[in-house]
Amino acid sequence: MTASATDTLPPRARKVKILATLGPASSDAKTIRKLMAAGADAFRINMSHGDKRQKARLVEAIRGLEKEFHRPTTIVFDLQGPKLRVGHFEGGQATLERGQRFLFDRDAAPGSSERVQLPHPELFQSVNPGAHILVDDGKVRLKVLKADDNRIEAEVVVGGRVSDNKGVNVPNVLLPIPALTKKDRSDLEFALEQRADWIALSFVQRPEDVAEARSLIGERAALMAKIEKPAAIDRLNDIIALADGVMVARGDLGVELPPEEVPPLQNRIVACARQFGKPVVVATQMLESMITSPTPTRAEVSDVATAIYDGADAVMLSAESAAGQYPVEAVAMMDRIAVSVERDHTYQARVHFTQTQLEPTTADALAGSARQIASTVSASAMVCYTSSGSTARRIARERPPVPLLAMSASINTSRRMGLLWGVHAVHTRDVASFEEMVEKGKRMALRHSLAQGGQRIVLMAGIPFGTAGSTNVLHVVRLIGDELERHSSTRK
């Protein structure tokens, strides 16, 4: 899919969204434009790497696309979170043998094959005999034998080479560490200054982590909780209830959990987010071989397809688009996989395998009815007006068979909807009457190629207009062929 400098980027031929991470391979405006034209619906800026001046340039490039393509752009700032690491070794590394004893302590002296500093006092207070300590993404595994406030004595279960500052994971241990570090707080303030649309919060273990971030963010951005710690699974419902969306961070989950447990967890998290009507992103290692290869493996294609069949709102590319040799090709491949899956005649049945429970509210009742009506009357699109995005979220949760044109007078709301399944967001002036709502809805559906003359669309809105959470109108209209031409002089 391409667009010229004067064209509006047409709606995607799919409903699942693509979130592309930016990095060294995609840090210039020209490449970012190619990513969006190839299928990227939103862009992730990883605060673990690079400086703030670079990040500001990325934001400027993305917002430039908003003006060029006449479509709201979506930016996700991903906070680094706490990083647990071992200290330094004499000579930079050491080799640990299976069955040997090894000591983690608080001594800053260079380590050896017998001991190393662990500069995190919280770990000494948290681990008990029998707990496992994983080093370097689990390549080296140790079992705790004894622990006190200054020393952890462990036995090497899986040996290997360990070098300076390698990461540490402690599965099944709730660590008394806040999700926001001093660096994260500084990065968060910067992201908000840059008008981030979403903030992705790392190292979430408990609902309190989300609540703390929410208190700092307020309404300035939407908050996405990254589910990457097994401890978060125990409080999943409470975490999702407090967040605006969730990310299934499968890479980190796969380090601390047996790999075979990750797929069912992915399905469970996606289903839970659907129940809450919150967007859910499936992330990490989706097309990883495309970091160095122009084509993915069949297993990777199936992996992406599974996430789409499960009903994820978005699928994410990490190093593939940030540091790989084929960033644009990776986005284009993910786009083709999504289009192919959604054309499968079994897709609608499979995406509705998760049963959503409507709340006893007018807005929820109308959202559920709108999906059924759109199917019954063979509508070509659904159209909604929303000030906060709640109407669009309700409709997207029901996974309707047709795209949703979501119009909002709020540019912030329009941008945040870039991660919602099936939503084509449009920033437009508000409407003042029911008649104006109907006319603008018809005009916009034609203008954005979501409907043609003679087709029906289903409209939803709230009256009085501009009042969040007041969805109470459902209307079906048939378009006439010259509708757009007759209103060509009407401003957006």
Residue 482: predicted pLDDT:
56
Indicate whether 121 and 183 sit together in one domain: no
In a domain? residue 357: no
pLDDT in tens, 269-328: 999 999 999 999 999 989 999 999 999 999 999 999 999 999 999 999 999 999 999 999
How many helical (H) and strand (E) elements, i.e. helices and strands, does the chain have? 18, 21
Mean pLDDT of the 148-170 span:
96
Indicate whether 117 and 34 sit together in one domain: no
In a domain? residue 6: no
Residue 492: predicted pLDDT:
41
Domain of 163, CATH number, reads 2.40.33.10
Domain's final residue, options 169, 201, 225: 169
Cis peptide before 464 (omega within 30 of 0): yes
In a domain? residue 161: yes
Of 438, 377, 429, 424, which is closest to residue 396 (Cα–Cα)?
A: 424
Tokens 């009457």, located at residue: 433
Distance CA 301, CA 335 (A): 11
Residue 172: predicted pLDDT:
87
Mean pLDDT of the 98-115 span:
97
pLDDT at 488 over 70: no
pLDDT at 481 over 80: no
Indicate whether 206 and 128 sit together in one domain: no
Residue 5: predicted pLDDT:
38
Give the pLDDT band (50/70/90) at residue 490: very low
What is the dihedral sign for C-alpha 374, 379, 385, 389?
positive
How many domains, the chain? Answer: 3
Indicate whether 460 and 443 sit together in one domain: yes
| Ordered DSSP codes for 283-297 | ESSSSGGGGT-SS--
pLDDT in tens, 359-418: 778 778 888 888 889 999 999 999 998 889 998 999 999 999 999 999 999 999 999 999
Q: What residues make up the domain containing 63?
A: 17-81+179-347
- Cβ-based neighbours of 251, under 8 Å, separated by 6 or more: 228, 283, 284, 285, 318
Which stretches does DSSP call E strand in 319-468? 381-385, 404-408, 423-427, 456-462
Domain of 50, CATH number, reads 3.20.20.60
Residue 465: predicted pLDDT:
67
pLDDT in tens, 177-215: 999 999 999 999 999 999 999 999 999 999 999 999 999
Phi, psi for 150 (deg, rounded to 5) = -125, -15
Domain of 433, CATH number, reads 3.40.1380.20
Of 484, 402, 410, which is closest to residue 444 (Cα–Cα)?
A: 484
pLDDT in tens, 38-86: 999 999 999 998 899 999 999 999 999 998 998 999 999 999 999 999 9
pLDDT at 487 over 50: no
Asked if 78 contacts 197 with a C-beta cutoff of 8 angstroms, the reply is no
Residue 352: predicted pLDDT:
79
pLDDT in tens, 428-465: 998 888 888 889 999 999 999 999 999 999 998 777 76
Residue 489: predicted pLDDT:
38
Of 252-256, 365-369, 466-470, where does the model show the most confidence? 252-256
Domain's final residue, options 142, 169, 196: 169
Q: How many percent of the chain have pLDDT more than 70?
A: 94
Residue 226: predicted pLDDT:
98
Give the pLDDT band (50/70/90) at residue 121: very high
pLDDT at 485 over 70: no
Indicate whether 275 and 298 sit together in one domain: yes
In a domain? residue 129: yes
pLDDT at 2 over 90: no
Give the pLDDT band (50/70/90) at residue 131: very high
Mean pLDDT of the 240-245 span:
98
More confident residue, 216 or 488: 216
Give the chain's mean pLDDT. 92
Domain's final residue, options 292, 314, 347: 347
Indicate whether 342 and 201 sit together in one domain: yes
In a domain? residue 9: no
In a domain? residue 7: no
Indicate whether 41 and 130 sit together in one domain: no
Indicate whether 198 and 268 sit together in one domain: yes
pLDDT at 467 over 70: no
Q: Report how far apart, in Å, the C-alpha atoms of 443 and of each of 451, 460, 465 are.
A: 10, 15, 18
Residue 434: predicted pLDDT:
82
In a domain? residue 455: yes
Q: How many percent of the chain have pLDDT more than 90?
A: 81
Which stretches does DSSP call E strand in 187-303? 198-201, 222-227, 245-249, 280-283
Direct distance between the N- and C-terminal alpha carbons of the chain, in angstroms, rounded to an integer: 25
Indicate whether 321 and 391 sit together in one domain: no
Indicate whether 185 and 127 sit together in one domain: no
In a domain? residue 36: yes
Indicate whether 141 and 74 sit together in one domain: no
Indicate whether 191 and 221 sit together in one domain: yes
